[in-house]
Amino acid sequence: MNTLFLKLIVNFRDLVSRAEGQDLVEYALVVALIALSATASMQSLASVISSAFASISTTFSGAM
C-alpha cells in the first residue's frame, strides 16, 4: 500500500512539473471534488433511507 501511494506521489509530481500535464491535473482536481461531494451527499442520503426503513419496520412490528 505504501509503495502504491509513493508511486502515486511520484507520478503526480511528474505531471505537475510538465506543462502538458497541467490540464490533467486540473481534471483530476475536478474529479476529486466531485467524488468528495458525492460521498458527502451519499452519507446524508444513507441516513434518510435508514430512518425510512426503521419507520417501516416499526409500522410492521406494530401491525403484527
| In the chain, where the domains are located | 2-63
Measured distance CA(26)–CA(61) in Å, rounded: 52
CA–CA gap between residue 40 and residue 53 (Å, rounded): 20
- What pLDDT is recorded for position 56? 93
pLDDT of residue 15: 73
pLDDT at 22: 67
Number of alpha helices (DSSP H) and beta strands (DSSP E) in the chain: 2, 0
pLDDT digits (tens, 9 = 90+) for 6-60: 888 888 888 777 666 567 788 889 999 999 998 888 888 898 999 999 999 999 8
- Residue 22 is given by DSSP the state H
- What pLDDT sits at residue 35? 92
b vs e for 30-49, b when ≥16 Cβ sit within 10 Å of the residue's Cβ? eeeeeeeeeeeeeeeeeeee
